[in-house]
Structure 1
Amino acid sequence: MATAILISMLVGVAGAVASARTTLTVGVFPDLDSVLKAVIPEFNKVHPDIEINLQTLGFADHHNALLTALATGSGAPDVVAIEIGYLGRFAVEGGLTDLSRPPYNAGELKDLFVPFAWGQATTTDGRIVAIPTDIGPGTMFYRRDVLEAAGVDIDAVASWDDLVEMGRKVTRDLNGDGKADVFLIAAASTIADAMYRGDIPEGEGVYFDARGRTVVDSPRFVNAFTVAQRVRQAGLDARIGAWSNEWYEAFKRGTVAVELSGAWLGGHLQNWMAPETAGKWGARDLPSNMYVSWGGSFYAIPEQSRHKDAAWKLIQFLTTRPEIQILAFRTTNAFPALQAALEDPLFDEPVPFLAGQRARRMWAEAAAKVHVSVIHPGDPVAQEIVGSALTQVLEEGKDVRQALAEARQLIERRVRR
């Protein structure tokens, strides 16, 4: 009898422990899934009562599915990863927990992070819709062998005009068929993207000023579009879209001299895009001492989550612990958003893929110089319209000022609605 009672008690305790476990659904996109797989065992050492159910979808599918789930009010994971390009839209459409409010009080974490990343997660009305986990300091990757063959010194490129002039030297016909085989860059539009996202006045956004007025026809955009147009008209870009097979092939074959991107591109080049080109690449800051945010990932909690307490524990674990941010960097080269992580000696080590260059410290210093900008409810609309205007300028030869003036009018009409 006593034995039966003891067994019954043990079964009851086991059942209570099992029922006390929380299953937390986490929705991510590649390559953040690799980070989570590496980190989950460490998280479970601290929180053995929380089980992680990892859901991974392709980049676009993940964000589209999340938009649908938030719009319908059901089906969203407890924790979601959001890339910076989508963050503004999610902030506008709602459905994400405001982490500035109790019990989260995320504002207390502000000083832990690279300032510009924190600003990107903060709306103009003061809501904190997500916590940054990785960032993309803008940089210029260049092919050492291509520039050497053209007799070009990358250190002589101080301005965007210098970059265009360098392009005239590296863009050339190797086969004698009258067509260029090597180009300055894959797409002229990339130069415009870099320029109009750089030197944003402190406290303003990419497309709107502090008062919410559209600034897409300002000198910042005019200069960006003009330089990109010069590159296109001179035949200096290969007219290759990013994330295409042609883009990857250009990196492998060395048919483009430079590529402007976030520091994260170095990891992609090394790991899967063009690993056989190790030692042929270098990196440096963008021309004209321009410092730009180029990508970045955040974690947020949908309002519909039933396990917000556990979700907040996971987000804090992923974002506020230097050792976890370092583990993420070692796993996928995801550049930490946490300032303490950037002080690790790892960021002073030479990078073999970049011929031993100590590029990580350069990127960390660049990140500290990116101006803080905020997201605006009209950002998704403005981004779409500006992109269309740039296409008209590059593909159809439309006048830059006219294209931007029309873009401003269209943005104002659609945002006002």
Structure 2
Amino acid sequence: MTSSHTPSAQSPTSKKTGLARALPSGRILILFIAIVTSVIVALTPSEKREGLPFWTMRIRHYEAYEPKVAEWNARHPEKRVDMQLLHQSAFERRMLSGFLSGTPVADLLEVSSIVSPKAFLGPLDQVGFLDLTDRLHAEGVYDQFNEASFAPYTSRGRIFGLPHDVHPVLLAYRADLVEAAGIDVSQIETWDDYFRVMAPLMADHDGDGRPDRYLLEFSEIRPTEIIILMLQNGGEIFDADDRPAFANARNARLLATLITWVTGPNRRCLEVPPSSASGHRQRLDGAVIGTIAPDWMLGHWKIENPGLSGKLKVMPLPAWERGGRRVSVAQGCMMGISKTSTQIDLAWELALYLYTSAEVAEELFATNCIISPVKALWDAPFYDQPDPFFGGQKIGRLYIDYAPQIPIRTASPYTTSAEQAISTAAMALRAYADRNENYDIDALVPEAQRLLEKAQSELILFMSRNTLWEE
């Protein structure tokens, strides 16, 4: 008996292709978009870049260099320069990965002192930057620059970068409020003098139980200012062999002193966001009198907070002791050459062209208040122009006068880690002071020393895990 079989009608699902059965509709759409965009990218002609690759990570520097690079390219069409602006994080990743893997990077690199020491880890012959030491001395270039400005770019006695700046740190203050109160800043030599002379400005005139103003913009949560003050005080961060050395008695006493500035019954400082709209509003309202100010910060205020014009002046940093240093130093930038460059002489020529140019120096000072590290330029008349933003002071001359006295900055690959460790110790010390209601400097010193030793031990342990550290 033959049985009959009638095929059942196929459902819509059974008609799907193998790919459709394998992938949901959403994934098919994503795959389609990926294919189309890949084709578009493949067919789009890539931008053809010509000339010596030159990377920078600072927009203000880029803008100052533009006319000089254009002039260079017009005069030397056979030696063109291709300048590119990169975000700092992208710059750091591309530069360090290129150095480690041997893949191409720019021939000329302008890099911040936050990033550049990371390339110094390991044996000297493995550093990705060209060693400029012998060239600097043979051509007499070393003597043309402020000597201390080479320090952040020097590792084990070898120099890997040409300094872009000096970045002396002085003290900016609300001169309108200070002078209206009849306060004479010439009486100020030390930090103790500063807080004593400025104390009348902390009066509570509105009766809310809080000072109307604080005397200094400072907080233990901001490592940059802690390090600036530590360096001013002669505090050591790393020793000559690049080993952490910040757990010392001098730094412990400074840390204990700073904690009495930010908490307790004699609190004098206020944390103000450095670049936010709210921070600029607080400065404009006079919430703080003084600010620890590198030269570049003055230019930043001119752009970001023009309402401060005519209200500010600058004075030397108060010293930690009578006869002590009245200036400190902030992070900066260098120009380095990739060791794998095939155009080293051209890169060197361009670096000198930009960094010793009076026109570039004048532009950077006019727009950013940055003074050049080239000593021959310090007599330039534009540094002696009275600045109405700062009450007619000759700001350039004031910063230049203190430039030769800046302390030495560290060039350790672990500088940022050390700064964070010190700030963490400062935060723990504040918590200790508040918990025990102990705001006496002498009584806080032992705990400050303990916390610094703990932070230093942890950093050394962290560093020891990197096999290149001992090289």
- Normalising to structure 1: TM-score of the pair? 0.83
Counting matched residue pairs gives 391
Amino acid at match of 1:400: A
Secondary structure at the counterpart of residue 128 of structure 2:
coil
Render the CA deviation track for 1:263-313: whole Å, top value 9, x for unaligned.
Answer: 12111112x121122111000111113321123221112334444333222
Q: Secondary structure at the match of 1:197?
A: helix
CA distance in 2, matches of 1:47, 1:390: 54
Structure 1 residues 120-145: Cα deviation after superposition (integer angstroms, max 9, x where no partner): 3221x222111011221111000012
Report the CA distance between 1:198 and its aligned residue: 1.5
Please state whether the residue corresponding to 1:252 is helix, strand or coil.
helix
**Selected match of 2:80 from 29, 51, 74:** 51
1:370 to 406, 413, 430: 406
Aligned equivalents of 2:299, 2:343: Cα separation in 1: 34
1:196 Cα offset (Å):
0.6
Give the partner amino acid of 2:262: R
1:240 CA drift (Å): 2.5
For residue 8 of structure 1, what is the aligned residue in structure 2?
Answer: none
Q: What's 1:97 paired with?
A: 130
How many angstroms apart in 1 are the aligned matches of 2:352 and 2:388?
Answer: 32
Matches of 2:297 and 2:120, distance apart in 1: 27
1:109-130 Cα deviation digits (max 9, x unpaired): 210101110233221x222111
- Distance change >3 Å, CA 43–CA 389, structure 1 → 2: farther
Compared CA separation, residues 162 and 354, structure 1 to 2 (3 A): same
* Contact residue 213 and residue 289 of structure 2 kept, 8 A: yes
Amino acid at match of 1:314: L
Partner of 1:231: 261
Q: In the TM superposition, what whole-angstrom CA distance separates every residue of 1:153-175 from its partner, at most 9, and x where no partner exists?
A: 32222111223334643334454
2:152 is matched with 120
1:401 paired with 2:449, answer yes
For residue 109 of structure 1, what is the aligned residue in structure 2? Answer: 141
* Equivalent pair of 2:299/2:367 in contact (CA under 8 Å): no
Say yes or no: does 1:265 pair with 2:301. Answer: no
1:336 paired to 2:361: no
Distance 1:390 1:275, change over 3 A: same
Shift of 1:66: 3.4
1:363, CA displacement in angstroms? 0.9
For 2:203 and 2:115, how far apart are their aligned partners in 1? 38
Seen in structure 2, the aligned counterparts of structure 1 residues 191 and 301 have a Cα distance that, compared at 3 Å, is closer
Cα contact 1:217–1:408 (8 A) shared by 2? yes
Alpha carbons 2:53, 2:81 under 8 Å: kept: yes
Change (3 A) 1:393 1:149: farther
For residues 17-416 of structure 1, the aligned pairs below 5 Å read 22-74=51-103, 76-92=105-121, 94-100=127-133, 108-123=140-155, 125-166=156-197, 168-173=199-204, 175-189=206-220, 192-200=226-234, 206-233=236-263, 234-270=266-302, 272-288=303-319, 289-372=325-408, 375-394=411-430, 397=433, 399-416=447-464
Aligned counterparts of 1:142 and 1:34: Cα–Cα separation in 2: 29
CA contact (8 A) 1:84 1:297 kept: yes
Shift of 1:374: 5.2
Partner secondary structure for residue 392 of structure 2: coil
Deviation at 1:260, TM superposition (A): 0.3
Contact kept? 1:191, 1:228, Cα under 8 Å: no
- Contact map agreement 1:100 1:107 (CA 8 A) in 2: no
Matched position secondary structure for 1:41: helix
The one-letter code sitting in structure 2 at the alignment partner of 1:86 is: V
Q: Distance in 1 between matches of 2:314 and 2:183?
A: 15
8 A contact 1:267–1:332 mirrored in 2:
yes
The whole-number CA distance in structure 2 between the counterparts of 1:394 and 1:106 is 51
Aligned partner of 1:66: which letter?
A: M
Structure 2 distance, partners of 1:194, 1:231, is 16
- Asked whether the 8 Å contact 2:183–2:198 carries over to 1, the reply is no
Q: CA RMSD in A?
A: 2.9
Partner residue of 1:3?
A: none
Distance 1:126 1:291 in 2: 25
- Aligned-partner Cα distance in 1 for 2:356–2:113: 19
Q: Secondary structure at the match of 1:342?
A: helix
- Contact 2:214/2:268, CA 8 A, preserved across alignment: yes
**C-alpha contact (below 8 Å) 2:226/2:423 kept by paired residues:** no
Per-residue CA deviation, residues 193-244 of structure 1 (Å, 9 max, x unaligned), is 332111548xxxx412335453312243123312211111133222234333
1:256 and 1:266 map into 2 onto residues whose CA distance is 16
Specify the code of the residue in structure 1 equivalent to 2:245: V
In 1, distance between residues paired with 2:260 and 2:382?
40
Instruction: Name the CA distance, whole Å, in 1 between partners of 2:121 and 2:242.
Output: 14
Q: Structure 1 pair 46/112, CA: closer, same or farther in 2 (3 Å)?
A: farther
Distance 2:59 2:341 in 1: 22
CA distance in 2, matches of 1:174, 1:153: 21
TM-score by length of structure 2 reads: 0.74
* Bigger mean CA offset, 256-265 vs 393-402: 393-402
- State whether residues 227 and 419 of structure 2, in contact with CA within 8 Å, keep that contact through their aligned partners in structure 1: no
| Aligned counterparts of 1:262 and 1:74: Cα–Cα separation in 2 | 36
Compare 243-252 and 112-121 and name the one that shifted more.
243-252
Q: Using a 3 Å threshold, how does the CA distance of structure 1 residues 122 and 47 change in structure 2: closer, same or farther?
A: farther
Equivalent residue letter for 1:98: D
Q: Indicate the residue corresponding to 2:11 in structure 1.
A: none
Greater Cα offset, 76-85 or 164-173: 164-173
1:386 CA drift (Å)? 1.6
Percent identity of equivalent pairs? 21
Distance 1:350 1:230, change over 3 A: same
1:375 Cα shift? 2.3
